[in-house]
Structure 1
Amino acid sequence: MITGTGVFCPNGSDVDEFWSNCLAGCGRVGRIPEHWLDHADLRSTLWAPLPELDLDGLGANRNERSQRDPVSLIGECAARQALAQAGHDLVLRDRRANAFGIPGVEAERAGIFVGTGIGGAHSFLGNFSHHLLGRAKREIEDLAGRLPPTMKEADELRMTGRRLVHPERFNAFAVSMLMPNATAAHLGQKFTFHGANVTTTVACAAGTVAIGQAFRAIQCGELDLALAGGCEYLRDDYGAIFRGFDIARTLVQDCSDPATANRPFDVQRSGFLLAEGGAGILCLEERGMALRRGATILAEVTGFAQTFDAHNMMSIAPDGRQVERMVRAAVADAGITPERVDYLNAHGTGTRINDAIESEVIARVFGPRVKVNSTKALTGHSIGASGALEAVVCAHSLAEQRTHACVNLQEPVADLAFVRSSGALEMDHALSQSFAFGGHNAALVFRRHQA
């Protein structure tokens, strides 16, 4: 049972703002930091920036601010929202550690499942740049100071020194900040959960797989409650992560109206809009526990499946066979047939190859009937968090019987029932699917909860 959701992403710093902006068709597109262009010639200069993170409102203490990568802090932001929406109170158990417990929840039967593509890359790159450049920058400044101030070379040296950006110090907690499992570990410590604490690193499918693993743990009786989803933070001082995607020619191209650049499933699509990051967390509970405490149930997870292409590290297999097998397996796991799926939240990145193959698979499995949209058209692509944000959309779509439009879709790439305007949509079953670099495919099936 999904009893709570939380998000922190480009178009919303809380789930209410996020969902309202989704329904209103409001995304967020901005220019990358200007100084990144000092270090590389980039084909794309657009991305989806995150809102400012309110660490005071989050209650992060001084140690957490200095010892946690931003990916862990935005994960906590989303997790707190999910617990609050689920109706779980937090009770302070350890003031020094800033750790909490949840009354009525047996800690040994509560777990954390977090997906991420990269983990603490911000901390890794920041500390690496300090290690590499800190001494060199001081030497450049010293050399410039020993030259006559009127020399052209002195100004050029000073300008070079200013371009060497890095943190003021090397963080002694660098290792624990950059490790991919840091967010899951942080959440487990924060809420004092002693059950399974699992990190999934399968790139863009990570959030979807994490939720699927949590679903299985509750389904088999191992856990009563799980916080599950995905987190990513992709900013670095020099834009190196962005450049990697840019060189791979996967990103949206600049255009006269940046708001229309991100256009999944449109004939004129040019690539995906990379997000600065994001976090989506679901609170999943065993049915009996949720019903006993009178929780408001948004939706139910009923099916999960994953497959692997074994084709190419950067490209989906052109025949889409393993994607199709994964979708059919997830639907069968939910105990239904494809005809009963009413709504599909697609991977929908906006890349030319992915959208074309995904459209073909949807047509083969579901035909032109199922309603289809892409949440990435609104949020950008937050890599490991993307599937979790799309799961949040599925849960709220089922709970409210309405969903958002597939924005910027003018000339569809295929004859499918794309959601062209936000509004009411009668649905009992929804499916969300994710594909990832490396060849990982995963899908979740959700059901409308009816008391």
Structure 2
Amino acid sequence: MTGLGLVTPAGVGVDENWKRVLSAVPTASADPALAGLPVDFSCRVPPDFDPAAVLGRRTAWRLGRHVQLGMVAAREALRDCGLDSSTWDGARVGVVMGNSLGGTATFEEQCLALRERGAQAVSPLFISMWGANMVAGHIAIDCRAGGPNLVVTTACASGGTALGVARDLLRSGTCDIVLAGGTEAALSRTIVAGLTSMGVLSRRSDDPPAAFRPFDVDRDGFVAAEGAGVLVLEREADARARGARVRAHISGYGGSADAVHQAAPDPEGSGFERALRTALSDAGLSGADVDHVNTHGTATELNDIGETRVLRRVLGPRPAVTSTKGVTGHCIAAAGAIEAVYTVLSIEHGLVPAVANLERLDPRIDADIVQGSARAMPVEVAVNVAFGLAGQNAVVVLTAA
């Protein structure tokens, strides 16, 4: 990993994100676009974010929100790693992005146009603004990346899955450089209403900042969010040869399916355990080697209990465990990539962020959860976890450069 880029509710850019996550100050607030719904709050990218100013007015106008966020994060990641896309061999550069729901706001707007004004009112840009695949395509156009171009969709595991696929493109020799990550911008009324009906969202409309409470005894679900995270991946020898800063290594990856239920995670955690053990084996490490885990940590009953039980079973009591979603909200398909960036920063800075809003740890959770303030400690080996609807799991093992 040589380049990092972020656009999330915690800020635009990696530095802003890291400061906010270390502060453990939540970003959830009332959302006027959701007014009148049973859950009327969310975590949105800061309102001063202007995609037209970054991408150009004409370009931004043609893009769905999920593409705008992904492109801005990709540009930051490329700046961070020092690569010049005007001089590289684009045929050797791939793009692998995770996305789950595409341009949901665009879809709602065009459905309304069809219903109220007829077929002629539907925009010719509708399909290209809505499609989940368009984020990888537009990133490739923006930076002249002519290699494999993919969007992976494993629900909330998509960002983690994208990192695993990208790593394999490098290992196989198919690519020399891969931009990988995830993006999601699905804070539409229909999607939030659907998540509410599923029973996975917090109902604390009277106090949105305190709503998302991973591992807390009083948790009642997550807060929906938007965001994007992109990382530049290269083979180490190539990066060293050009004098790049190697920020961390993807040393292991494991993917699996629970194959149990369309919505609920496997109560035994067997699918997650397979992915975790596979990732550790791929990295040539044991559970005892892991210093830190950035969990999926959704503040739902089944996730928090099941996830930490598997961590204890496989890794033992040693790792410092956190969930950064209490600050950012749950960015759905982008979560795994965003949290991979935070995990890289934990390795670099020797700091593990505290879990926001954690006041009383659920006594059933047997793990070293970081509470109160960020913990200073050496982090040589870290695990990043992402789960998706229908039991799709992605685990990435990151190690210090």
Is TM (by shorter chain) over 0.5?
yes
String of CA shifts for 1:377-422, please: whole Å, max 9, x gaps: 1110010000001100111111111121112112222121111221
Matched to 2:96, the amino acid is F
| 1:424 corresponds to which of 368, 372, 376 | 376
* Residue 216 (str. 1) matches residue 198 (str. 2): no
Aligned pairs for 1:152-163 within 5 A: none
8 A Cα contact 1:130 1:169, kept in partner: yes
CA distance in 1, matches of 2:20, 2:147: 35
Query: Is residue 2:128 matched to residue 1:176?
Result: yes
Larger radius of gyration: 1
Partners of 2:26 and 2:347 in 1: how far apart?
21
What residue identity is the alignment partner of 1:288?
Answer: A
Do the aligned partners of 1:114 and 1:231 also contact (CA within 8 Å) in 2? yes
Q: Which amino acid aligns with 1:49?
A: R
Query: Hey, what's the Cα distance between the residues in 2 that align with 1:84 and 1:417?
Result: 36
Q: Is 1:241 aligned to residue 236 of structure 2?
A: no
SS of the residue 1:264 aligns to: coil
1:74-130: CA deviations, max 9, x gaps? 1010001100111123xxxxxxxxxxx332x22111000000111122222211111
Structure 1 CA distance, aligned partners of 2:172 and 2:287? 25
* Residue 46 (str. 1) matches residue 41 (str. 2): yes
CA contact (8 A) 1:45 1:254 kept: no
Tell whether the 8 Å contact from 1:11 to 1:18 is kept in structure 2 after alignment. yes
Note if contact 1:23-1:423 (Cα within 8 Å) is conserved in structure 2: no
Q: Name the residue aligned to 1:121.
A: 104
Distance (Å, rounded) in 1 between the aligned partners of 2:116 and 2:263: 32
Counting matched residue pairs gives 397
3-state secondary structure, aligned to 2:275: helix
> Partner of 1:20: helix, strand, or coil?
helix
Does structure 2 retain, via aligned residues, the 8 Å contact 1:120–1:182? Answer: no
Q: Deviations over 1:155-202 (max 9, x none)?
A: xxxxxxxxxxxxx95321111111110000000111111111011011
Shift of the alpha carbon at 1:280?
Answer: 0.3
Map residues 200-279 of structure 1 onto 2, 5 A cutoff.
200-236=152-188, 239-254=189-204, 256-275=206-225, 277-279=226-228
- The DSSP-based 3-state class of the residue aligned with 1:271 is coil
> How far does residue 8 in structure 1 lie from its aligned partner after superposition?
0.6
Structure 1's unaligned 5+ residue stretches are: 90-100, 137-167
Pick from 59, 78, 83 the counterpart of residue 83 of structure 1: 78
Matching of residue 130 in structure 1 with residue 113 in structure 2:
yes
Check whether the contact 1:342–1:428 (CA below 8 A) recurs between aligned residues. Answer: yes
Q: 2:17 is paired with a residue of what secondary structure?
A: helix
2:246 to 288, 297, 309: 297
Match of residue 19 from structure 1? 18
Which residue identity lines up with residue 91 of structure 2 in the other structure?
E
Question: 1:322 aligned to 2:271?
Answer: yes
Counterpart pick for 1:403 among 349, 352, 360: 352
Q: What SS class does the counterpart of residue 430 from structure 1 fall into? A: strand
Match of 2:63 among 45, 68, 84: 68
The Cα RMSD (Å) is 1.6
Task: Quote the sequence identity (%).
Answer: 34
Question: Which aligned runs of 4 or more in structure 1 are off by greater than 6 angstroms?
Answer: none
1:408 alignment partner AA: N
Counterpart pick for 2:397 among 417, 422, 445: 445
1:377 aligns with 2:326: yes
Tell me the CA shift for residue 256 of structure 1.
4.7
Q: What secondary structure sits across from 1:282 in the alignment?
A: strand
Instruction: Report the CA distance between 1:320 and its aligned residue.
Output: 0.7
2:90 aligned to which of 94, 107, 122: 107
